[in-house]
Structure 1
Amino acid sequence: MRTIDSIAFQKERYFPTLDGLRAISILLVITWHVDEHRWWYLSGYTGVMIFFVLSGFLIHTLLLREEDRSGTVSLKAFYLRRSFRILPLYFTVLAMYVGMLRLPMLAKQAVAFRAALPYYLTGFNDIAPMAPFNQSWSLGVEEKFYLVWPLLGFVVLAARRAWRIPIMALLAAIPLFMGPLGHLGVLVPYAIIMLGCTLGACLDNEAIYEKFRRFLGGIGFILVPVVFLLFHALLGLHPDRSRPLFGYLLIGYTLSTALVQAWCVMGRSPVHRVLGSKWVRYIGQRSYGIYLVHLICLSVTQRLLPPVSPIKTRLLLLATTVLALAVAEVLYRLVEHPCIALGRRVQERWLHSRRTQEIASPALK
């Protein structure tokens, strides 16, 4: 496999293959929710873990790019981008749930939804009682993580950049390795995101990057995806998710996921071209919308195609995926993309205003 050098990597602002990973992740999640027993071997719940590592890597890498360019990170600009990226579509779909659950046939689910709604409105989705829209638990984890980590990593540790990687590695490792022993389990999702951040910090370090490059340019080209697929298979074969062994398999899977993401962003091969191809990227770029709406779409398709046979279950999976993609496309055009563009304009106006004030301030003095 051909790998890019650190100079080329530092110039990257967009990683097409990560959209490919997003596409795979969301398809895994849909298989799990359609029928976790029929497609047990796909371990579809791992799609969220891939999302977590990917999110940590990408956001931390882009913050490092900003720090390299300007010498600092604007938290206000970051929170503006994040808010316009996540919240408009989130509240749009939440409103869709509110409207849908007003139907008389869904009255029983509406009771549970009303109990969970205060959690959904305040970002505590991960501790909300079981109710419709509970797939949003991962958003609650991400939003709390990104509320705290940029402040800690780029303000508190701004003058101690050499400390970042060791601190990040510890923050990821302690919950991950204590989780299977029954400790710090609530912090494991945050640790998985931190693992992605740690990967981003490592690849930003030229010396570490070159070590990754030598490994992935050699035996790692085959070894990394094989180990990832092996752990994926072992998770599906392990019957008891409450046993410590399963927890340690999850650790191996999470670490191999991080290596696969390094493999994706650093390498160039036919597989990378497939992951970065137009239609795979298309699904990945709409994965957030698909994630939010796919359970609504599943409830619709289940009424039309009750999963009473293997063929109907496969049709249910296909119909749910197509319908979720169609709804996500509409939301992407009407809500998601316009709000992201609006957020960029608001950020640019604010940054321009701040630069103007900084230029004018010396003259005023």
Structure 2
Amino acid sequence: MSLPFSVPPSNNLPWNPRLAHLRCLAALLVLMFHVFHTFFGNWQPRPEAFGFGWLVEGHTGVSLFFVLSGYLFMSIALRAEGALDYGRFLRNRTLRIFPLFLVVFMVAVSVNRDTFRPQDILYLFFSNIGDPPTSKQFMTGAAWTISVEFTFYLIFPFLARFALAQGPGYLLRLIGLLLLFKLGAFLLNERPTHMIYSTLLGRLDQFLIGMLAAQYAAMHILRPVHGVWVVGAGLTMWALLEVQKYWASFFSPDPVQVAWVVWPTVEALAWALVVLSYAHWRGSLWGWLGRVLERGGEISFSLYLWHGLVIFLGMRLLGTPDWFADWRLNALLAGIAVLAVSWGVASLSYRTIEAPFLQMRGRYVKQTHVTLE
């Protein structure tokens, strides 16, 4: 018997637990990244932490979220042959992200009530630029990505239509044009690293690479792939984050890092390799682990938006964990504690805020002959 708060899978694409696993991974990377820097890393580059690039530069989880979005929606468009109902698509995406985002925004506005300006309401659509209320405190700061994501939703049906009509070359040309704009913006902006990190200009190619990966899979991956590809993709991503930790850290005191002109693109290509190999892996995880990660993927949006509050409360009420001499052990235990509490809060939030709206979603694929499993 289904639980009273269970949400039916999407009407537009068969449920793929592998993609849920990767969404859980993305949320966990961001969570552990924030735990480390709040309690131990002090938001500074840590090149000496060998093997921990995934932790020191764990903001890469945001890039994985963006690549997954491009991959997922392009997979839907491929099944529908590009025939997406624009209004229904936006309605579904609004029902997916705005209820919880509005709660977070309301909290941020309330906290900053003494400095509130009427025009701040526009930050509902621009939470990643200017001086948004959500970015003024850590506990709501993760919401900056919502505007980047939603802007992609606004243009995706057109991108999908043109990509299907013209082939992968269309997306490759767009990525090339974006790189040119990035170079120009990089030379013009005084803090180009942060500009590229936090804007659609810097991130759009990550969505496009996700779309390109979906097209590649449909054209070339005709059977399950060997696990060696999954391991190789994971090691490639790990090595890339080690390189970033040493030579292109987001926390470098130098606000002008030339590598960041192409870094989001390279990062997205590596994550696309992970997505392609894992989504088509012929093996499977242990039953319990798969179920946990699948549940984590289901609540990943709540986990992403709520963990900042849990970390903030932990820091203010308990201070920096200093139980053992090795920071790694302290970080591990702190991470487990934050994850446990955040998981519980996210599950409650998903059941209370997200699930009722998710049940209102409908079908936006126009084709009636597409068989959905």
Q: Which residue of 1 aligns with 2:24?
A: 23
1:19 deviation in Å? 1.3
The alignment status of 1:127 with 2:140, answered yes or no, reads no
* Residues 235-264 of structure 1, C-alpha deviations (whole Å, 9 max, x = no match): 223365443246555543321110110001
Q: Which amino acid aligns with 2:142?
A: Q
The verdict on how the C-alpha distance between 1:300 and 1:256 changes in structure 2, with shifts beyond 3 A counting, is: same
1:289 equivalent to 2:302? Answer: yes
Distance 1:250 1:273 in 2: 32
Does the 8 A contact of 2:311 with 2:338 survive in 1? yes
- Tell whether 2:230 aligns with 1:209: no
Higher helix fraction (1 or 2): 1
**1:150-190 alpha-carbon deviations (Å, 9 max, x no partner):** 13433xx3xx8341421112223443577478269441211
Q: Which residue of 2 aligns with 1:88?
A: 99
Matches within 5 A, 1:320-335: 320-335=338-353
Distance in 2, Cα, partners of 1:194 & 1:115: 35
SS at match of 1:342: coil
Look up the equivalent residue of 2:61 and give its one-letter code. G
CA-to-aligned-CA distance 1:190-214 (integer Å, 9 cap, x gap)? 1111111111122223xx334xx69
- Which of 241, 247, 251 aligns to 1:232? It is 241
Higher relative contact order at CA 8 Å, sep ≥6: structure 1 or structure 2? 2
RMSD over aligned Cα atoms: 3.3
Unaligned 5+ runs, structure 1: 1-10, 102-108, 356-365
1:290-329 residue pairs with structure 2 within 5 A?
290-307=303-320, 309=322, 310=327, 313-329=331-347
**3-state SS of paired residue (1:343):** coil
Paired with 2:147 and 2:296, the residues of 1 have a C-alpha distance of 23
Describe the superposition over 1:273-326 as per-residue Cα deviations: whole angstroms up to 9, x where unpaired: 579710111112111011112212222111222015346654443332222222
- Which of 139, 148, 151 is the aligned partner of 1:144? 151
Report the count of equivalent residues: 317
SS in 2 for 1:268: coil
* One-letter amino acid matched to 1:320: V
Q: Deviation digits for residues 33-74 of structure 1, max 9, x if unmatched?
A: 223364863221101001110111012211322x24xx7221
Q: 1:240 to 1:222 in 2, by over 3 A?
A: closer
| Matching residue of 1:59 | 73
* Mapped partners of 1:239, 1:194: distance in 2: 23
TM-score, L = length of structure 2: 0.74
Relative to 1, partners in 2 of residues 1:197 and 1:288: Cα closer, same or farther, differing over 3 Å?
A: same
Question: Equivalents in 1 of 2:312, 2:245: separation in Å?
Answer: 25
- Residue 27 of structure 1, CA deviation: 1.4
Classify 1:113/1:231 alpha carbon distance in 2 versus 1 (closer, same or farther; 3 Å). Answer: farther
1:161-180 to structure 2, matched below 5 A, reads: 161-176=164-179, 179=182
Question: Cα distance, 1:131 vs. partner?
Answer: 1.4
SS at match of 2:14: coil
Residue 46 of structure 1 is matched in structure 2 by: 60
Larger radius of gyration: 1
Distance 1:312 1:260, change over 3 A: closer
- Does the Cα contact within 8 Å between 1:177 and 1:251 map onto a contact in 2? no
From the superposition, tell whether residues 113 and 234 of structure 1 become closer, same or farther in structure 2 (CA, over 3 Å). Answer: farther
CA distance, structure 1, for counterparts of residue 336 and residue 105 of structure 2: 24
* Matches of 1:74 and 1:178, distance apart in 2: 30
Closer, same or farther: CA 303–313 of 1 in aligned 2, 3 Å: farther
Hey, what's the Cα distance between the residues in 2 that align with 1:167 and 1:275? 41
Q: 1:115 to 1:189 in 2, by over 3 A?
A: farther
Report the counterpart of residue 106 of structure 1 in structure 2.
none
The structural deviation recorded for 1:228 is 2.0
Q: State how 1:186-265 maps to structure 2 within 5 Å.
A: 186=199, 187-205=201-219, 208-210=220-222, 216-217=225-226, 220-238=229-247, 240-241=249-250, 242-245=256-259, 248=262, 250-265=264-279
Does the 8 Å CA contact 1:175/1:191 hold for their aligned counterparts? yes
- Corresponding residue for residue 8 of structure 2: none
TM-score (norm 1): 0.75
Q: Which residue in the other structure is 1:32 paired with?
A: 33
